[in-house]
Amino acid sequence: MKDDALFDTRTLITIIVVVGAVTGGNIWINRNNPPLGFNRFEGYGFSIDYRRDMYFEVTGLGEGSATESIGTVQGVLEYESLEQFGVMWVSQQNLPSHLEDTPEGALEYVHDLIEMSGTQISERGEMQTGSKDGHDMTYQTFEVDLGSPVRGIVGAWYCDEVGKYLMLFLIHMPDVAQPQVLSQEVESKWMGYLDSLICH
């Protein structure tokens, strides 16, 4: 009886060790891959993960195509809810001269572009500070008018290694059937994209 119990304990320990080794090996092998159900965009000095069922595109800012100096990538997911995120980038040389060469100036640039597109910003929260991969970051919540107010958040930082400002934005509507209901998750969703974004 004791021998059977000892055998069962040894078998269990062996199974745990083997499963642990296989799991650890898989995590190590796939450490640079996006999570299951996600794609990874890589280019223009950064990478970011996004859901596979998103519509995803790369465009210029204003007129023209994306270049190493200026552009945007964005993903849109619209079913019962609406989620749109994007990464804009601009070199110091391409930042409009009336704006400060700072993360705050880069944030103003994003707000200018939103309003130039014909979308009205109805409210802007206080500017907050943080860091992204050792870089000083400024971020701010906002609301845009898409027939109903929709919450968003945008953050900006200068990535020395790639020589450009990166600006990550997200807007979120939790239920398109009830557009008057404002998102309570916009900041946590934005943080998920921020965590997956690598700028060097």
Report H helices in 81-142.
103-116
**Residue 13: is its pLDDT beyond 80?**
no
**Residue 147: is its pLDDT beyond 90?**
no
**Residue 28: is its pLDDT beyond 80?**
no
**Residue 98: is its pLDDT beyond 80?**
yes
At residue 23 the predicted structure's pLDDT band, cuts being 50, 70 and 90, is very low
At residue 26 the predicted structure's pLDDT band, cuts being 50, 70 and 90, is very low
**pLDDT digits over 51-87, tens only?**
999 999 999 876 779 999 999 999 999 999 999 999 9
pTM comes to: 0.82
Residue 27: phi, psi to the nearest 5?
A: -60, -45
Mean pLDDT confidence for 179-199: 95
**Residue 117: is its pLDDT beyond 70?**
yes
Nearest to 46 by CA among 175, 152, 167: 167
Nearest to 41 by CA among 73, 67, 88, 19: 73
pLDDT at 174: 96
Give me the percent of the chain exceeding a pLDDT of 90: 73
Q: Is the alpha carbon torsion for 52, 55, 61, 67 positive or negative? A: positive
Round the average pLDDT of the chain to a whole number and report it.
Answer: 87
